[in-house]
């Protein structure tokens, strides 16, 4: 089991309200409570507009709650980010087109001395080793334009994990990829997570992806954005492709879909 006893992310009574046209209020999050143990992999799933990305922005320190509190490793999100405890993988890889793969993944260490010192103090694989683990050993000296979309996203994931953050925030990083590439990257992501033991908060719209990756699945509903269920996934690891065919895996897929439908109908009532 990855997770030690301490908490890595804590959200308590978080509420976030946006002002929209005409002076009306949009309640993106309302009274959200969530505790994530260190070293665990947690996915957040729900329909568009349920506040998934807002929740991630609060944890990342990009926004602040109007009410409630968010802490990361016992610090405010902004302090955690300043201490280089947070990593972020967005939907688009955002690689610098004039740098090679190896230079892209090592750039944060070259320009950020604090991150470089932090990484050097923690034993672990080098960036080259992480690239090899992600199947990018033949792409290290290529430019991003010479890579497929899936390979570019792998580079972005290695770049983020390579800083060895305590908490990794991933906002639908595989949403633009075809199903086969997506499944391949899920497996490589799990390999990197197993290697580096970061806490992962992962946003997704895919039920299958959430079940395959997660220790815990958080189900959200919109209007107002809120958590309606938290599902513990008791499936063995490692979770290779064969697991996706088993009755146990399908049981969790059905359970998550049922809870999503229940949240939708509750809103419609």
pLDDT band at 178 (very low <50, low <70, confident <90, very high): confident
Q: How confident is the model at residue 2 (pLDDT cuts 50, 70, 90)?
A: very low
Note the pLDDT tens digit of each residue in 14-71: 999 998 877 788 899 999 999 999 999 999 999 888 999 999 999 999 999 999 999 9
Q: What is the pLDDT of residue 232?
A: 97
Q: Calculate mean pLDDT across residues 154-158.
A: 88
Is pLDDT at 118 greater than 70 in this prediction?
no
Q: Which residues contact 6 (CB under 8 A, 6 or more apart)?
A: 37, 38
Given pLDDT bands bounded at 50, 70 and 90, which one contains residue 217?
A: very high
Our CA dihedral for 219, 221, 227, 228, rounded to 10 degrees, sits at: -70
Q: How far apart are CA 95 and CA 153, in angstroms?
A: 9
Euclidean distance between CA atoms 169 and 77, whole angstroms:
12
Q: pLDDT at position 266, please?
A: 60
Give me 163's structure tokens. Answer: 């800083």
% pLDDT > 90, the chain: 51
> 0.75 cut: is pTM over it?
yes
How far apart CA 141 and CA 103 sit, in angstroms, is: 8
pLDDT bucket at 162, cuts 50 / 70 / 90 = confident
Angle between the N-to-C axes of helices 149-162 and 179-196, in degrees from 0 to 180, rounded to the nearest 10? 10
Q: What is the CATH number of domain 7-268?
A: 3.40.50.300
Question: Lowest-confidence range among 51-55, 194-198, 208-212?
Answer: 194-198
Query: Do 60 and 54 touch, CB atoms closer than 8 A?
Result: no
CA distances from 211 to 131, 144, 185, 236 (A): 26, 31, 15, 12
Sign of CA dihedral 2, 195, 33, 86: positive
pLDDT at 258: 94
């Amino acid at each position: 089991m990855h997770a030690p006893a301490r908490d890595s992310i804590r959200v308590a009574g978080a509420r976030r309200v946006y002002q929209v046209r005409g002076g009306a209020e949009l309640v993106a999050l309302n009274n959200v409570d969530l505790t994530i143990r260190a070293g665990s992999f947690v996915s957040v799933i729900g329909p568009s507009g349920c506040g998934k990305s807002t929740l991630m922005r609060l944890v990342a320190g990009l926004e602040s709650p109007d009410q409630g509190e968010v802490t990361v490793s016992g610090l405010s999100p902004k302090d955690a980010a300043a201490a280089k405890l947070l990593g972020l993988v967005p939907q688009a890889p955002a690689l610098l087109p004039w740098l090679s793969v190896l230079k892209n993944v090592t750039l944060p260490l070259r320009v950020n001395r604090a991150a470089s010192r932090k990484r050097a103090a923690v034993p672990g694989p080098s960036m080259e080793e992480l690239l090899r683990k992600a199947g990018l050993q033949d792409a290290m000296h290529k430019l991003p334009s010479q890579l497929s979309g899936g390979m570019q996203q792998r580079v972005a994931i290695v770049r983020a994990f390579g800083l060895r953050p305590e908490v990794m925030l991933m906002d639908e990083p595989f949403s633009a990829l075809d199903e086969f590439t997506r499944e391949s990257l899920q497996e490589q992501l799990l390999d990197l997570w197993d290697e580096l033991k970061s806490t992962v908060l992962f946003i997704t719209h895919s039920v299958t992806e959430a079940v395959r990756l997660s220790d815990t699945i958080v189900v959200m509903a919109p209007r107002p954005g809120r958590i309606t269920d938290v599902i513990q996934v008791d499936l063995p690891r490692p979770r290779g492709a064969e697991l996706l065919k088993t009755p146990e895996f399908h049981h969790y897929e059905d359970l998550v879909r049922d809870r999503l439908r229940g949240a939708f109908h509750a809103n419609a009532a």
